[in-house]
Every structure is written in structure tokens, then in C-alpha cells.
Structure 1
């Protein structure tokens, strides 16, 4: 057999092997749902509105970046395996010539779009080069400019999204006014939602300025004032790690849609983008100890710590103490108040008593110059408070039925709010206080470190005097338990008084607070097992029962 005939026979065998691989790939594609189809350049050019072209000359083209073909996209798989037996002769001749000449393959011709390439001439050469395990091939390249990120891993179904993005950019021209913008999404029909927001922004701008506003100007305004603040919150909080294979714009739309639904359901205007992102964190992190501090770390140093306050109001005379305290905080923090009145039935919600609570709330906020609104809700008190708390930074609540001693304490509704709430609570036993002097109960736990975080903020921003109290009533607590507090406060240039007690925390904490003219106690929520809390007693439960000082409870 002549060498050419021998090489041709080997090439035919290779073709048959390649055909078998192509068949296996197509079977696997049906299972995985990931297409093995090459992309059609004509379809891509139409969807992405390709116009401008530039000659790039001879270049080395990465073979795995070739994703489509001009005219022959049905003849090969995505990895350029032959899909039809009718290609056997031509494929084998090219392969035999390549092996026989012992030279490199002649350059192909290709179009480049983004980071992807489409073969104009040389499909068989690409196929053979890939089967030979080559990494690149020479080719004459013509590049088509596109503002759409097209990568080698793009799937046929992705073209619908890419086309929608191209149309969106063509309409808004936002890539021109805001270079390097990336509004990529992973599912179709999302750009219609973005356009709705931009059109609303356009309408508002026209009403305010009394003149026509071009859609591109409205898009730029929407991007700067609406998209970027929430996108930065998503990025800063690392929320994408909870949603693999999704984009920032995906999450932006999800939060926007759910925030609108929440506003409708709750009767509150949710202005804080941070509160909206907390809805996601609530599902992912389950609000473990320390999550509130981490979520508010940026605001701690750049803004106010408490921008939205939840104030449950029963309507009874004593419950208004909580509103008085919330007003003091709101004025310091420039915060918004969210009143909550919970009733048993829908009829109760429309009663004169409920409407009277709302009228008094509105009048009190107006007289104090504080923004606030009150929602009337139906259902279980504990559940409703915990649900609404997610949208705020702090719960300010009047304590009327504190947990009792013994096992019955575990059934206390107030205790359940402390345990289930994802936000800290400020309990008000009597009248409102100005927080001039605070006592931090520190035992080294994660919840106590949350309290230290708040206490330091009050000392810095409110100029609150600080006393640190530690009771060495646990084998785990040593005399150096307050060293962490000292280092933390020194770092923030905050001075404090330090008290270490070898007596039990339960009674000595209250005594220390009384003797030092304290008007706010900060401490962690429940720790240890429930059996310990029942039989040994809980310092927090004792303070809630016996002290007349507001208690800031961190979870």
C-alpha cells in the first residue's frame, strides 16, 4: 500500500472514531441539557446587530475559543467533531494530507466577536487540529465590534439574552454614558424589567423638570441613583456567594421585585437598600450570632447605625413609653420609625381603637419632626414582630410581661421574640431615658461582642459614658476576660470604667447598674443550654424582671 493510501486509510479510521465521539457527546447533551451545537454566525450577527469590522491579519486563534461557523454550523459539534458520514471523504483527505506533509495546517479564515471566533473557511482544518490535540491554529481574523460580552462558553439559548441585552444597550446607550457598565443577566425577559424602571425614572424627571428627557439621560440617572447603590450593597456584602452562577443584576432585579411585594404586603415604604439585602442574608446565614454586626459594619463607620426602628404598640397607655424612647433614638440617628399595631381579626384592624392608635402615632411623630408610619397587622404577635423586624435595624418595645423564673420562663412570648428575632431589641420597662451612661455586661461570648460593638458606637457617636462589667461566675471566665474589651475600646479611642465581680452576675449586675447611675444596660441574648437557664437562672431574665433600666439585647 502506498504511503498516501496508508495515511488515507488511517484518516478514515480516525474519522470513524471522531463520529463515534460525536454521537456520545450528543447523547450526553440530552442528559445534561448543555447544547453541543455550533453557533450560527448569521444568527449571532443579526441578534447582536454586528456592523463595524476591522481586519486583524494573521493571528494564533485558541481552538477552544472557536464556537461557530459561517454556513456550516450544522456539520460539526461544538468541539468540531463531524456529525455526518457524508463528510468522511473530505475530512479524511484533509487529515491524510496534513499527516503526509508533516507540516502545519494552512491558515483558516475566521470572524472574531468578543472573545469568540466563527470559521469562515477551514472547518475541516479546525476539526482535525482539535482531534490532534493542538491548542491553537493560525488564521486570518476579521473582528466585529460588539458591546455585548461574548465568551467561548456561550450556549445557543444564551443568544436570546445577548440579543435582549444588545437591544437594551441600543435603546439606552448606557454603555456610552457609563463606560464599562455590566448589566449581564442569566435569564431572558429581564431587560424589559430594567426598561420599566428607567421609563418610570424618565417620567419622574420630566414631571420635575417640566421638559422632555431623552431615554439615554433617564437611563444614566437610573443607573447612578437606583442601580449602583443597591449593586454596591450586593457586592460589598458578598451576596453572590450565596447565589452561584448569578450576576449582580440578577440579584438587583430579585430584590427590587420582592421589595415591591413586601411594601404592598406590609404597608411600609422600604427605603433602605440594606434592609432589602438583609432578606437574602436571612435565608442564607440564618442570622447566626455576629451576622448583624457584620451586616452593619460599613454603616457603623460611614453613616448612622440605626436608620429604621420597629416600635410595636399595644394601644395601652404604657406602650407609648416605647415610642418616646424610639423618638429619642430617631432624632440622634436621623431614623425612620415603623410603628406596628397587631390585632386578632380583620374587623379589629378597622376598629376605632386601632385607628386611634394610628392617629396618635402619626401626630406624635409629626410633633417631634420624625418621619414615621404605622402598620396595623393581624396575627400572632411574636411572629409578626419577628417578620417585620427583618426590615429594620432595631426593635424598641415596652416590656410588660417579662419572663418569670423557672421552667415557665421558656414559654414566655417575650422570650420567644428575643430568641427568634434577627435584630437586637431595646426593652423599655418604665419611662424613656437619654442614654447618658451605659453599662456593658461582657462575658466574652459572641453575643456580648455584639453588645460591645453597639456600646462603642454609642460612646463615640452619642458621647455616652461607658462602664464595663464582668462577673467571674463561670469556670470559663478568668480575670483577663476584659482584655478584649480594653483592646477594642483603645483602638476606637474610647475610655471606660471597668468592674470585675467575683459574685454572681444575676443580682450583682443590677446592683452595679443602680449604684453607677446607669440609664442603659447592654448585654447579649440567651446563651448556654435551656436547662442551665432554668435551674441556674438567666441574668437577662432577672434584669428584665427586676430592673427599671432599658436593656439593649444583642443576639
Structure 2
């Protein structure tokens, strides 16, 4: 090759370098605008985060250029795609390009292999030119650095943080040694810190159970088997991966755990993982049904007055609680509104009866309305002390929270994370439209996501139930809950239907009878031609019932406000606790 031809190749190589450098400037500008990283990875930083001590020389081999992601000491000189950034590299880059163009055999590059990707120790310009020429592989001297993690060619700084956190967790717990097939992949930093905290909590709980402190490795195994795997079963059974495409099971586990922690901090008591998962899906699930539900909820909040909003559809509470065959404590978390008056303390006494039966925990809620003066701290302290002392006397967990706002709204907000609301019946809903419109009790019954047990003057043992049944979906919920308690607590039942006797009515009560008898429950059945509320109260008196099961409002809020409901009539006249079911 003559001097003139070589000079032409050198000039062409320089022009290629300048084009590559212009592309590097464009890439850097896009990276600045988008916030996406465009740098090579620093080997020393990656090694510090996820590498282990020692290395092994693997010798000469061909490596894929796409898997070269970083450099030793020169990671600022090139972009992630090995485009040159420094004008001062022009001559050297052009010389390498010209040599390759002449077919000269260049020496192999030197690389470190760490986590399945490569970092250039010597040969950055050769890699840069090879990429420009579209070469797929290069000959390299490979030195392997041990690591617990595997990286991919598209690894980002966040991936390195994640890998670093994973490495630290595995070094501390050795879980990957106990479970060789362990898969705890996540897509965001911080997840393994949460897991490490949970393992420490499990270690503390185990120490309390056994009075000996387990090693961190033992606590990690306990966490994995007792906490993590059951949660993964929940994720799989609910099909949550379909709701959050592109995420791993461990991603969802961490998200649910964080959401659970936030909910518990908000409401003041423990929230079931299943409930936290359902709420996270409702708020952030990506399937069309969740997106449409959120859109509908926003429209309702925007255009429908609060008094006219309905609560959850019938059966939501039952499907969440009774459908789980592992449920042993139906009313595990009981919410009791406490205003400091005598009637609210009677509600607490009735709640204690339920809590003893279910081994439940009692949570009082004292709401300060917006138009009331702030009570002094001594008054609140006195209410809290009395509530928690009474619970302690009964050997029950008890805690009082204080909130500000509209009473019914605050109770409904907390009720979402309880299993039952027990409240006094000091102020029944009035029997006229404007009174119903202003009634806080009516708002609570309308929108409470959980059953509400109203308490009159006397405390009941709750062992003889009467079910008001008209065949409606909400009446079905009352029947199903009554049947569950009858089987579990040997509760005696009477079912009453109040309309003129006809074939349809016999079919209605026949449905209730078939449902109960199919479950081996013997009950009494009453058909009464009197108005519904009168028939219910008459049957309760004749059968000496001490608990009434009834469905919530069965018509739209705007209709119920105008015409009233059987529920309100029963509450105004009954001297028995009434369990209002959704």
C-alpha cells in the first residue's frame, strides 16, 4: 500500500472518529434530557459493590462486544456504546481504525469479567473502533472476579445498587447457600434493605418465643419459610403478576409489605397482608378493570354529592374474610367509636363480648368534629386511660386513637381496615327525609365497608339470632354471616320474611331454608303479613332473640333518603343489638 493510499485511509479514519464523536455529543445531550445514564461503568465501583476477594485467570477467549459495559479508570472517556468523548483521542483512535482497515492483527484486549459482563483493562480504543465497524466479538485476556450476582449487558447504576444490596444481604444471611434456587430478583433499589429489616424483626420475635437469640442465618431461613413463601403463595393465588406486568414476585412482595407498613402507620393497628395486597391492587393495578374502577371512583367523587354515594357492593367483605378457609377469627379487629358518653362505653362492653368470642383486638376511635373546640389533653388522656384499662381488665388488646373530622367519614375510613364496627345506638336515623339527610348513622350504614353492630341500652350474650330475609343480595349477606356464626358458635337462628303469603314468598323463604339445611343448620321460619319492621320485632320478641341480622340499605341513597328503609325502622324501635351486613 502506497503512502498516498495510507494517507487517504488515515484521513478517512479521522473523519470516522469525528462522526463518532458527534454521535457521542448527541447521546450525552439525550442522556441529560431524559435522565437516562450514558456512562460506562466504573470497574472499581462495581467491584466494591458486588465483587468478592480474589480472582481467577481464564485465559484467552472471544467475548461478545455487547457484554462490555465498563472500563478500568477510563469510564468517562467513552459513552456507554464506546463512542469517543475526548478530542485528544483522535490520533490514537484513527491509527487503530487504519490498522484494522489494513487487516493488521492487533493484540487481544485485557478485560475483567464480573457478574457475566466485562470491563476493559486495556484496549478501550480497539473496542470503540470494533463497535463502529460492527464487529461482534473480540479476542481478550479474561480475568474473572467472583461475584454472587449476575449482570446483563444493559445493566444500569440502579442495577448495581440493587446487586450491591443483594450481595450484602446474602453475605450476611447466606440464604443463597441454603436455597441454591433462590430467586429474589427486584427492579428497584431499597428492596433488600426492607427484607434485611424484616429478617432482623423475625430474629427478635424468635428470641421472644424461644428465649434464645437465633443467628442471623437462622432468622433468615425462618423469615423465608414463615413470611416470604406464604406471601408469594398469596401473590400467585391472586394472580397479582397480571396486575403488575414486568415485575417480579419479590417486587410485589416488597411493594405489598411497604404498603402494609404505610397502612398500619395510618390506622394505628396491624393490617392483614391480604387486605394490603387488595388495596395496593385497587390503587395501582394495571389491568383494565382496575383502571376503569379508579376512573369511576374519581368521577363519583367529582360529580356525586357525598350524601348520595353508595358503599361497596354486597359481598365484598364476606369474600375477603369468609372465603378464606384459614379464617378462624372472623372479627379479629373491632373498631369502637368512643365519644366519652355513657352510651359509647356500653358499646365497648358489647364489643368485649364479641372480642372474647373471637380473640379479637379492640381499637377505640375518638373523633373531634371540625366545629368543636379542641378538648384539653387531660380529657383525651382520661378517655384513653379508661378504654385501655377496661380492655386490659378483660385480658384483651386495646388501644384508643384520636382523629379530627366528620365523625361518620372518619369511622368509615378506619373501618376499611377493621373487621367489625361496634357503636352505640344513641341517635337513630330520624323518620323524615331531612333528618335522614343529616344523620351520621345513616351515612355510616350507607358507606361502611364492614358490618356494623349497633348497641342499645342492654348488653347481649349474642347467642340467639334472628335473620331478616327478603331474598335481596344484602339479605343474602346477612343469612350467610348468620349461618357462619351458627356453625362456629352454635348460635340458634330464626328466619323471618314479612309480606303477604304467596308463591314467590314461599320460594324466598325456601331459599333461606335450603341454604341453611344444606349446611346442617336447623332454624325456625316465620312468614308475617305485617310491615317488615313490625314483623321483625314481633318475631324477635316471640322467639326471645338477642341479636338481629339484617342487610343494609337495599335501594339507591337518593331513594332511601326519600322513602326510608326497614333498617332505620328496626333501629328506631329495637332494644336488641342489630348486625347490619353489607
TM-score (norm 2): 0.70
What is the CA–CA distance in structure 2 between the aligned matches of 1:104 and 1:95, rounded to whole Å?
A: 12
SS in 1 for 2:437: helix
Alignment partners' CA distance in 1, 2:22 and 2:514: 69
Change (3 A) 1:74 1:322: same
Coordinate RMSD, CA, aligned: 5.4
> How big is the shift at 1:37?
0.6
Structure-to-structure mapping, 1:127-146, within 5 angstroms: 127=128, 130=131, 143-146=144-147
Which structure 2 residues correspond to residues 396-411 of structure 1 after superposition, within 5 A? 396-405=422-431, 406-411=433-438
Residue pairs, 1:168-317, within 5 angstroms? 168-177=169-178, 179=180, 180=182, 182=184, 186-187=188-189, 191=193, 214-221=215-222, 248-249=253-254, 251-253=256-258, 255-256=260-261, 259=264, 261=265, 266=268, 270=270, 288-289=312-313, 291-293=316-318, 295-296=320-321, 299-314=324-339
2-side partners of 1:374 and 1:160: how far apart?
40
Q: Indicate if the aligned counterparts of 1:386 and 1:421 stay in contact, CA closer than 8 A.
A: yes
Provide the C-alpha distance between the structure 2 equivalents of 1:281 and 1:45, rounded to a whole number of angstroms: 38
Query: Does the Cα contact within 8 Å between 1:444 and 1:481 map onto a contact in 2?
Result: no
Checking the alignment, whether the CA contact within 8 Å between 1:321 and 1:432 is kept in structure 2 is no
Aligned residue number for residue 335 of structure 1 = 360
Q: Is the 8 A contact 1:345 1:378 kept in 2?
A: no
- Given candidates 427, 437, 449, the residue that maps to 2:454 is 427
Residue number among 399, 411, 418 corresponding to 1:392 in the alignment: 418
Structure 1 residues 213 and 132: alpha-carbon distance in aligned structure 2, compared to 1, 3 A threshold: same
Q: Distance in 1 between matches of 2:514 and 2:31?
A: 59
Distance verdict in 2 for CA 1:505–1:43, change over 3 Å: farther
1:84 and 2:86 aligned: yes
| Pairwise CA distance, 1:36 | 0.5
Flag the 1:356–1:84 CA change in 2: closer, same or farther, 3 A.
closer
Q: Which residue of 2 aligns with 1:42?
A: 44
Give the 5 Å matches for 1:79-158: 79-88=81-90, 91=93, 110-120=111-121, 123-124=124-125, 126-127=127-128, 130=131, 143-148=144-149, 150-156=151-157, 158=159
Report the alpha carbon displacement of residue 119 of structure 1 after superposing the two structures with TM: 4.0
Point out the more displaced range, 503-512 or 408-417: 503-512
Report if aligned partners of 2:115, 2:150 keep a CA contact under 8 Å in 1.
yes
Cα deviation for residue 169 of structure 1 reads: 3.4
Whether 2:442 is the aligned partner of 1:412: answer: no
Higher deviation after alignment, 299-308 or 127-136? 127-136
**Secondary structure at 1:310's aligned position in 2?**
strand
The aligned residue for residue 398 of structure 2 is: 373
1:27 aligns with 2:55: no
Is 1:439 matched with 2:453? no
How far apart are residue 46 of structure 1 and its match?
Answer: 2.0
- Return the offset for 1:512: 9.2
CA distance in 2, matches of 1:61, 1:468: 78
TM-score (normalised: structure 1):
0.73
Q: Pick one of 551, 559, 562 that aligns with 1:532.
A: 559
Moved more, 134-143 or 325-334: 134-143
